[in-house]
Structure 1
Amino acid sequence: MTGAVAAGAVAAGAGVAWWRLQPGAADDAAVQALWALSFQTPQGTALPLAAMRGRPLLMNFWATWCPPCVEEMPLLDGFFRQHSPKGWQVVGLAIDQPSAVRTFLARRPVTFPIGMAGLEGTELTKQLGNLTGGLPFTVVFGPDGAVRQRRMGRVSEADLAAWAQAS
């Protein structure tokens, strides 16, 4: 009997862990408000999200201190270079200090725009369905501005290929 109880506890724990890593529903009001936001780039220029509406957008929340975030950056950059001629946009929103982001990008440059979301970016990810506030967190928006996909954790080439094909 003890073994059955232990097995049940392990299964329940695994189920809770799986559930916590699944994106929740995005808040519709937050999605609409998102398009009015503007972020500062590490270079100090404005990055208005309204200018990105109308084409598919992959938005990735990341930080320099997050190993899976750092690991997926070349993959996201490759996706941007391959799919931007087809209308796709990619933006990275850093939940980090500007100086750390500038240092990181000097060592590992990317071709897609980066905005500084700061600690407020964590709250934005939660409004977009990131129940835990963990990183990396990726949201795909359709040309109409609606959320099409969300991924908590590192994206894969298969994710990116499926998202590109579905657009």
Structure 2
Amino acid sequence: MSQPAFLGLLVAIALLAGFGGYGFYHLGQPSEPAPAQATVTPASSNGVVGMARPEFSLPDLEGTARHISEWDGDVVLVNFWATWCPPCLKEMPAFVEVQEEYGARGLTIVAVAIDEKDAVRDFVDTYGINFPVLIGETEAMTVTRDYGNRFGALPYSVLYDREGKIRFVQAGELHKDTFVRELTPLL
């Protein structure tokens, strides 16, 4: 390899390493505070807010079919996510905290992973997820569309009340303070 080609290769490697380091640095940084008002999403403008939650059934990590009606009577956050999605990973620790704090008052978070079972199991074991996790690849994409996610955004969260009526939708990362603000009046 000639010296100019070798130097070009070194420059390319250095640039890739720099971009990778930048990305990992920002992945670990605290998220910015949530806006003061609720986020308007394609789903809410699409008429999903105020509608009854759609029915669905997906397997859990043990392969047992779980139906969304299992949590009827609870306030439920259905969160569509994936292990390869950086904003999804950023919001999970807050979900664990909120489930722990509000679970006794009737909150259930149901995480629907659009991912492979082994990757999800490793994530759940590593991060101590304390709420139901359902698995689905193609099937989960159908469910997320039924919940108003026309563009396939991840993460995508839908909060519904004890009667099963959708009250709040968030495309993109759901910040803890926004989640608690929308959740509290429903408990």
Fold equivalence (TM over 0.5)? yes
Alignment of 1:18-167 (within 5 A): 22-23=42-43, 24-26=46-48, 31=52, 33-34=54-55, 37-167=56-186
SS in 1 for 2:183: helix
Does the 8 Å CA contact 1:62/1:135 hold for their aligned counterparts? yes
The CA deviation string for residues 46-75 of structure 1, in whole angstroms up to 9 with x for no partner, is 322111111210110000010100111111
Opposite residue 142 of structure 1, the aligned amino acid is D
The CA deviation string for residues 117-166 of structure 1, in whole angstroms up to 9 with x for no partner, is 22221222122111211100000011111111100000112211212222
Larger radius of gyration: 2
Deviation at 1:45, TM superposition (A): 2.6
Q: Normalising by the residue count of structure 2, what TM-score does the alignment of the two structures yield?
A: 0.71
Moved more, 105-114 or 135-144: 105-114
The CA deviation string for residues 67-98 of structure 1, in whole angstroms up to 9 with x for no partner, is 10011111111110100011111110000111
- Percent of aligned positions that are identical: 28
Gaps of 5+ in 2: 1-39
Q: Normalising by the residue count of structure 1, what TM-score does the alignment of the two structures yield?
A: 0.78
Does the 8 Å CA contact 1:140/1:147 hold for their aligned counterparts? yes
| Alpha-carbon distance between aligned partners in 1 of 2:159 and 2:107, rounded to the nearest angstrom | 10
Opposite residue 74 of structure 2, the aligned amino acid is R
Root-mean-square deviation (Å): 2.1
Change (3 A) 1:146 1:46: same
